[in-house]
Structure 1
Amino acid sequence: MREGIERASLWLAWLGRLIAGVALVAMLVVTIGDVATRYLHRLTEGAISVRVVGSVELVSYLMLFALLAAMAANVERSQVVVEAFTHALPDSLTSRLHGLYLLGFAVLGGVLCVGLLAAATSAAGHGEVTQDLRLPLSPIYAIAAVLSALLGLRSLLHALLGACWAQPSETADGD
């Protein structure tokens, strides 16, 4: 069972990294395109007036996707354990505490997912669009909801791994 959960978590982490990477590359392309066209406009003193319309809007939504996907992909490594509180605790107890903490992230991912799905439904019902590009907001909220669900699911998987199958303590000499 543990191996199945670990395998599912690794696959979901790969998916999150892929989505985050694509979003970051798209942000880079939009930003470089915007800067290049502005520079070209200035260099030609307005003779060439090509602009990337809605670049700020595109970058903001791509940043949302990149952050949610990256958080989901790296949830098990996202917390710094304060040694002042855990240095005297056995590794198995520290792992269980980390698992308990990740339950909070699972709840957070679930709450974000439900809220974003409600926003997507509302946006679809009212025909809401983005300010600059007039893109429908419903799919944007739906994608963010899926990424939030990914965060919640990976957090839950690692909470189960930490709480139920804590790693045994290692000896001081590494044996």
Structure 2
Amino acid sequence: MQAFLERASRWLALVCRVVAGLALVALLAVTIADVGTRYLYRLTEGAIALRVTGSVELVSYLMLCSLLAAMAANVEKSQVVVEAFSHGLAPALKHRLHGLYLLGFAALGLVLFLGLLDSAAAATRHGEITQDLRLPMGPIYQVAATLSLLLGLRSLIHALLGAVFGVAQEVSGGE
């Protein structure tokens, strides 16, 4: 069971890292294209008037995806252990306490997932669209809900590994 959970966590982390990386690359591409076209406009004194429509909107939604995916990918590495409270404790007990702490992140991921899923349904029902690009908001909320679910799932997996099995939260570097 422990090996299955560790393997599932590694695969979910890989998926989340790919999503975060792709979102960051797209975010950078949109930003570079926007800055480049503005500079080209100024350089040619308005002769070339190319624009990246909705760049602020694109950047904000790509940032949302990259942050949620990165949080989900690194949930087991992101917590700071306060040595003042756990200095004299056995390593297995430290891992169990950390696992209990990660249950809060699992709950947070579930609450975000349910809230975003509800927002996606409401946006789809009411035909809510983005301001600049006129994209439907439902799928955007659904992607954010899925990434929040992955955050909750990975947190739950590492909470179980720590609280139940008493193993370290660090995932090996061979991901």
Q: Same fold (TM over 0.5)?
A: yes
1:167 deviates by 3.2
Structure 2: distance between partners of 1:51 and 1:80? 43
Q: What is the identity percentage for the equivalent residue pairs of Structure 1 and Structure 2?
A: 69
Aligned partner of 1:121 in structure 2 is 121
Structure 2: distance between partners of 1:149 and 1:167? 23
Q: 1:160-175 to 2 correspondence within 5 Å?
A: 160-167=160-167
> What's the RMSD between the two structures over aligned residues?
0.8
Give the partner amino acid of 1:77.
K
Q: 1:69-84 to 2 correspondence within 5 Å?
A: 69-84=69-84
TM-score by length of 1: 0.95
Q: 1:67-146 to 2 correspondence within 5 Å?
A: 67-146=67-146
Give the partner amino acid of 1:20.
A
Structure 2: state its 5+ residue gaps: 169-175
1:118 deviates by 0.3
1:87 deviates by 1.1
Give the partner amino acid of 1:104.
G
Aligned partner of 1:58 in structure 2 is 58
Aligned partner of 1:21 in structure 2 is 21
1:89 deviates by 1.0
1:107-165: CA deviation from partner (whole Å, max 9, x where unpaired): 00000000000000000000000011110000000000000000000000000000111
Structure 1: state its 5+ residue gaps: 169-175
TM-score by length of 2: 0.95
1:42-83: CA deviation from partner (whole Å, max 9, x where unpaired): 000110000001000000000000000000000000101011
Structure 1: distance between partners of 2:59 and 2:90? 44
Give the partner amino acid of 1:95.
H
Aligned partner of 2:38 in structure 1 is 38
Aligned partner of 1:172 in structure 2 is none
1:88 deviates by 1.1
- The DSSP-based 3-state class of the residue aligned with 1:135 is coil
Aligned partner of 1:173 in structure 2 is none
1:94 deviates by 0.7
Structure 2: distance between partners of 1:57 and 1:86? 44
1:8 equivalent to 2:12? Answer: no
1:8 deviates by 0.3
